[in-house]
Structure 1
Amino acid sequence: MTCSCESGHNHNQVNPYVPYRMKIKDVIIENPEKDLKTFILNFLNPEEEKSFTYIPGQFAEVSVFGVGEAPFGIASSPTEKGVVSFTVKKLGQVTSSLHMLEKGDVIGLRGPLGNSWPIEKLVNKNLVIISGGFAFTTLRSFLYYALDPENRKLFKNITVVYGARNPDQLLYKAELSEWSKRDDLDLKLTIDRGVEGWNGIVGFVPAVTEQVVKEASNTVALVCGPPVMIKFTIPVLKKIGFTPDDIYTSLEMKMKCGIGMCGRCNIGSKFVCKDGPVFSLKELEELPAEY
């Protein structure tokens, strides 16, 4: 499988600065605080829909007209035809404006941008997918892709460790429930501290990873979460026996303009938006420790 987007922009889009017009098909509120929402978008132009091809792990710039744009990892999978989804936490001006929009409203989308999870390197491997909080978006994209009937046979055992502060903060609850019933996926959900009514695992993601993952041979780890989670998970993976070549992480939180123009996402010689957001640990170990 070849990635047509190594250079960090979509060759199909005539002008990378001009957004596609997207209609909000649905808005899913992900938590009681209502500050996490998933926006499911349709293309207004069917021709543009055909030309928009992406790979799990890529991101896009979402714009609220008259307010601005912000980068988000694509949460949907290319196997979900006709829709593109993003899960957005309400933090700043753009995200707050986005959160005020409703079904039927029109917004902009530029992309896809950046590189992807290294799918060709994952074929015939066991996979360990590790995530925390609302960083689960592009891993949801990959999981959805990997579990598609056409693709599931490409990968061996899939183990997922996904944690949040409390059960309310876990994203995609309906899907997690479905995935937990599958026999071709080992899903471990964990929360930081026990609460009434929670019968699952209690503990921080790095500790749970150490309990659950026993074997690193023929296995690749995909890690995406808050920086502190990544920081404490990497040593655990190394201890289990993973090499820096077999650990991939996404530096989504470093994203800015998406096409290497603004210079605000660089780490050493790399631009996260053009060379990333996905990097192997081997690549990151050769860069200044800014992530």
Structure 2
Amino acid sequence: MTIAAVVYAGCWALFAWLGDSWLQLLLAAVLAVVFGQLGFLAHDLGHRQVFRTRRPSDVAGLIIGNLGVGLGWGWWTSKHNRHHANPNHEDHDPDVSPAVIVWSEDQVARSSGLPRFIAKYQAYWFFPLLTLEAWHLHIASFKALLNPAAKRRKLELTLLVVHAVIYLGAVFAVLSPGKAVLFLIVHQGLFGVYLGSTFAPNHKGMPVLTKDDKLDFLRKQVLTSRNVRGGWFTDIALGQLNYQIEHHLFPNMPAPNLRKAQPIVERYCAEIGVSYLQTGLFESYGQALSHLHEVGAALRRPPAAAVG
């Protein structure tokens, strides 16, 4: 957390020092990664991995999420916890709701409008659409806090507004209007791609559950999750979410310990005959994209010829 805070502050100091320069677009790319790393910390705080008690977790989560990154930490944590309770479940997991991308053939059959248009070739649309993911999360954060019943509504909304004012104010104060707009496009676009690229290998392309699937806790978590092999670089780049199976089984386990739990869980799954999937990073993307392409296959078939 200290390293992330120092790098975050250093990037903005460098931003001020560079001034109205085209080099700021390179810094925008670096900041996209820094924002992503802060997002991982907010994720871990939401799972109570960092502090023993709730209050410091909430304080740190609000500072990093709402103030530092501009994402509603309380709203996202609640949504993410619903995902953990029912991963890849059509009816209960908000991460597989057919908002734009559709995740199963049943969703394709029920789709209409933009999701149906996208679904036909959604494997090709997936990464381009991720450039809009950060903007979507910012808007969704504000939208969730418009609900009067939202928890800590005034505090979270205030922190989001403060972030937006300082962030946009700094960008447009230092850069010319054209460079400022390009900076926002590059920074937020790559931030969205980075976030999406770290979460996509975890569940996309794995079985999508319905109300007819009756699984115990272990199978529900393991069979819908995929681990990604790699060394220290992969661990850092993916926020240690590459140990997705272990994370879903033990969501409160501090992320640095997941790699220690991994061989134990893998051996146990082998003993009881539960499929345990672990692939390379690019193979995981291939499986996810292949699944998305197969889901939309029905829309690519030519309509049946009329009879009579």
Category of TM-score, reference length = shorter chain:
under 0.3
When the two structures are superposed, what TM-score results if normalisation uses the length of structure 2?
A: 0.26
Structure with the higher fraction of residues in helix conformation: 2
When the two structures are superposed, what TM-score results if normalisation uses the length of structure 1?
A: 0.27
Which of these two proteins has the greater Rg computed from alpha carbons? 2
Structure with the higher fraction of residues in strand conformation: 1
